[in-house]
Every structure is written in structure tokens, then in C-alpha cells.
Amino acid sequence: MSDWTTTDLKQRSIAAKEYRGYANIPVGEATYEVPYELLSHDQQLEVQGDINLEALAESDGAVDLDEETETAEQRVQELQSKDDLTEVEKQELREAQQTLMQNNAELVDKLGSETLKAFHKAGRMAIAPDTEDVNNVMDNPIEAKERFADIPGAPAFGSGEITREAAARALKAEMRSILDDNPLPIYFTLGQQVFEESQSAGKLADDSESDQ
């Protein structure tokens, strides 16, 4: 996984374009390690246009929710930042996500539905396969053609050779189809995180260019 937090600003600005973060997402009884990329400058602008910056600023980047919801939000962030989860932690993550879903109305009241939709959009934009995922598809073309045949938005491979770009598009479509069917507020949680990371990385890139 690329790391854009290295000490050299120029290296950081380059790494930001190649970065893959990973979030542990519970879907039903399973937990998926979902890779995501940082948002481009244009994507950040598109998302930011729908965010109520005044409401976000008033909350200082956080929402003053009841103690149960606040605890659940903190626990989700803690667990999603871990590379490997035990079965007990996977169950904790599912329960914390359920709590966030049940208290979603409070988020709407405090930030507004458009802001939530914006973070949802950011999370959906950001999910992206990593090199290992793409390599696996490329190494198993026969299995891939069957695997992605009924995935909405996945390219039709047919009898031709599978390109890396097509493999990546198919994997992204597959991830979205899995997460779209999940009632938990995954994209909001992931979207807020990825938007903040992208903003930080973008500022570093701008600072690096201005120093040249």
C-alpha cells in the first residue's frame, strides 16, 4: 500500500495519486477489506459543492450525537483502521454500524441530507481495486468472465483478452454491487474519511508545487 505520509512533500504529492487505503466493511455475516483511492481535485470539488460547510464547521468536523452513537462512531473508526479483525471485532463492527444506521436521522438533522449524500458519493467514488486484485483477475481470465457476467456496470469480456483497465472496472462494479445492497451507512463513514484524506493530500501537493 502506498503511503502519502512520508516526510518529503514532493514524494507525498506523487504517492497521493497512487495511494490505496483499506477499510474493513461488514456486509451481512462477512467482513470485506475494501480498498479505496484518494479523490481527484475535480471529484473533491464535486463533493464539496454539496457539503454544508457551515454546518460542518459548526460541528468542528464532528457531529454532537448522543453518547451511544458517538461511541459507535469511534468504534467503527478504530476497527476500520485495523488490518486484521478477530471474529469478536467483526461482530463489534457490525453492531456499531447498526447503531449508526439506527441513529442516521440525527446526522440528517445536524448536517443535512445533502451533506450526507455528498459523503456517500465520495465513498462510492473512492472504492477502487488494488494491484493485487487486478492481478488476480488477469491471472484467472476464464473464472473472471463468469464471475463478472451478471454484475451491473461490469464490462462484457466476451472472448477477447482482458485488459488491466477492464479488470479494474469490473472489480469496482463488483464492490459497488456488494456495498449498494448493504443497508449500513458504509459510504457515509468511508466518504467522510476519504474526503478528509484527499483534502490533506491535495494541500500537500499544492504546497509542494508552490515551493518549487
Q: What is the pLDDT of residues 148-163, one digit of tens each?
A: 999 999 998 877 788 9
pLDDT at 195 over 80: yes
Looking at every residue in the chain, the average pLDDT score rounds to: 77
> DSSP characters for 134-187?
HHHHHH-HHHHHHHTTT-TT----TTSPPPHHHHHHHHHHHHHHHHHT--S-HH
Give the span between the Cα atoms of 106 and 109, in whole angstroms.
Answer: 5
Q: What is the pLDDT of residue 125?
A: 92
pLDDT at 142 over 80: yes
| Banded model confidence at residue 171, pLDDT cuts 50, 70, 90 | very high
Handedness of CA 3, 5, 10, 13 (dihedral sign): positive
In this prediction the pTM is 0.70
Highest mean pLDDT among 23-37, 92-106, 131-145, 195-209: 131-145
> DSSP characters for 89-135?
HHHHHHHHHHHHHHTHHHHHHHH-HHHHHHHHHHHHHHB---HHHHH
| Banded model confidence at residue 55, pLDDT cuts 50, 70, 90 | confident
Q: What is the pLDDT of residues 17-44, one digit of tens each?
A: 667 888 877 776 677 788 899 898 889 9
How confident is the model over 130-141, as a mean pLDDT? 92
Q: pLDDT higher for 7 or 161?
A: 161
Give the span between the Cα atoms of 47 and 44, in whole angstroms.
Answer: 5
Q: Which of 1-5, 24-28, 127-131 has the lowest mean pLDDT?
A: 1-5
Q: Which of 69-73, 115-119, 201-205 has the lowest mean pLDDT?
A: 201-205
Give the span between the Cα atoms of 123 and 182, in whole angstroms.
Answer: 14
